């Protein structure tokens, strides 16, 4: 009798189904930061990695598997073949090219659209009920592209959008106010990046709206110059890319938070990508859970905020019009 048979008396065949499988396509800086955040925070116990590079994806898988004893019984698989992604609750796409110094996110659009054309049908073939979460840039446009390519209802295609911008905003507010980021409430909506819209009218600490204390807050005539906080948010990625070549940790944590909201059916509110006018996808505060987006919070925006949002939508629609599907 073999050692295994001596040790175990089989009662039934084991299943690998954990009910919380997440596939991450693209094991670059963003993909691996998201994977690491999800595994170490216990967001999922079942990760599949997919990449075009067989060596890289195997290397990342082995490295993570060697850390299994420090994690919570995670199953980690990897391949260049999408069969490995079968049965995923969420598929996160971080594949594609990233900005080089001096490039904007919009510069990447056609190159990453072509990448998505290969990826999305494969993911859906193996996980027809999955929720698609997009991180590749320009994320707003590529979420729209994914929706078009997938044929899925809008609530099942989510972009990481301004979840990261909002986190950066709350961090910078926290630095200026001396209050923890988790207690600084504020949303950035619209485009992830250059034309994002800070909703200054809603920024609050414990329900105290800063706009009630300073009616010009965030505007050009604000003598305290709070608008610099949003300017720093917009510059954040450019600054980090200039310093270390890419951004990874914060976007990884942001994706892990969105995945947790979905897998635990949290009904929590996050700035996530959703389709608005002109068929553009822009970030608005969404209620997230196991079926994807349940609701969009109707934020009472000022005329100026609404105008900025519409401007963002217009920019998106213009870029989208030039995409070759
Ligand atoms: P990276 O480190 O170059 O990794 C990209 C990975 O994608 C590599 O491992 C490639 O082999 C892989 N890849 C390329 N083509 C394919 C394909 N057809 N199928 C499968 N895998 C493929 O890039 P990084 O991880 O830094 O960035 C990935 C994307 O995320 C870029 O588009 C970034 O601009 C974007 N980011 C999005 C952010 C957000 O807030 N949404 C934040 C940061 C970066």
Q: Work out the number of other CB atoms within 10 angstroms of the CB of residue 43.
A: 24
Q: From the CB of 53, is ligand 1 less than 6 Å away?
A: yes
The CA distance from 261 to 289, in Å, is 6
Is 192 annotated in the active site? yes
Q: Which whole-number Å values give the CA distances from 106 to 102, 148, 309, in the listed order?
A: 12, 18, 17
Residue 173 pLDDT:
98
C-beta of 168 in contact with ligand 1 (< 6 A)? no
- The alpha carbon of 26 and the centre of ligand 1 are apart by a number of angstroms equal to 6
CA–CA separation, 85 vs 54, rounded Å? 15
The partner residues of 296 in beta bridges, in order of sequence, read 286
Interface ipTM above 0.90: yes
Q: Could you tell me which of 198, 91, 80, 178 has the C-alpha nearest to residue 134?
A: 91
Atom 33 of ligand 1: nearest residue by CA position: 98
Task: Characterise 19 by phi-psi region: left (phi > 0), alpha (psi -120 to 50), beta (else).
Answer: left
271 lines ligand 1 (CB under 6 A): no
What pLDDT digit, counting tens, does each position of 153-179 carry?
Answer: 999 999 999 999 999 999 999 999 999
Q: What CA–CA distance (Å, rounded) separates 97 from 137?
A: 8
Residue 279 φ/ψ, nearest 5 degrees: 60, 15
Residue 275 confidence class, pLDDT cut points 50, 70, 90: low
C-beta of 233 in contact with ligand 1 (< 6 A) = no
**pLDDT value at residue 43:** 97
Which atom belonging to ligand 1 lies closest to the Cα atom of 99? 34
């Amino acid at each position: 009798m073999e050692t295994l048979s001596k040790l175990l008396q089989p009662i039934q065949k084991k299943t690998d189904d954990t009910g919380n499988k997440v596939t991450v396509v693209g094991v670059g800086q963003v993909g691996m930061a998201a994977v690491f955040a999800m595994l170490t925070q216990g967001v999922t116990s079942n990760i599949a990695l997919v990449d075009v590079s067989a060596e890289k994806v195997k290397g990342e898988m082995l490295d993570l598997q060697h850390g299994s004893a420090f994690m919570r019984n995670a199953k980690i698989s990897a391949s260049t073949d999408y069969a490995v992604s079968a049965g995923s609750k969420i598929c996160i796409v971080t594949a594609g090219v990233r900005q080089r110094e001096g490039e904007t996110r919009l510069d990447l659009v056609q190159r990453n659209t072509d990448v998505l054309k290969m990826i999305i049908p494969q993911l859906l073939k193996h996980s027809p009920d999955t929720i698609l979460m997009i991180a590749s840039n320009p994320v707003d446009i590529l979420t729209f592209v994914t929706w078009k390519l997938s044929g899925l209802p809008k609530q099942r295609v989510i972009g990481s959008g301004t979840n990261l911008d909002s986190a950066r905003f709350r961090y910078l507010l926290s630095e200026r106010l001396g209050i923890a980021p988790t207690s600084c409430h504020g949303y950035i909506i619209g485009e992830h990046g250059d034309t994002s819209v800070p909703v200054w009218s809603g920024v609050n600490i414990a329900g105290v709206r800063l706009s009630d204390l300073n009616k010009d807050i965030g505007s050009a005539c604000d003598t305290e110059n709070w608008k610099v906080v949003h300017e720093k948010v917009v510059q954040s990625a450019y600054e980090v890319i200039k310093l270390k070549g890419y951004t990874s940790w914060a976007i990884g944590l942001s994706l892990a938070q969105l995945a947790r909201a979905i897998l635990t059916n949290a009904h929590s509110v996050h700035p996530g990508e959703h389709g608005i006018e002109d068929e553009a996808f822009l970030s608005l505060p969404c209620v997230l859970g196991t079926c994807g987006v349940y609701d969009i919070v109707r934020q009472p925006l000022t005329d100026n905020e609404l105008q900025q949002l519409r401007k963002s939508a217009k920019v998106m629609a213009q870029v989208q019009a030039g995409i070759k599907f």
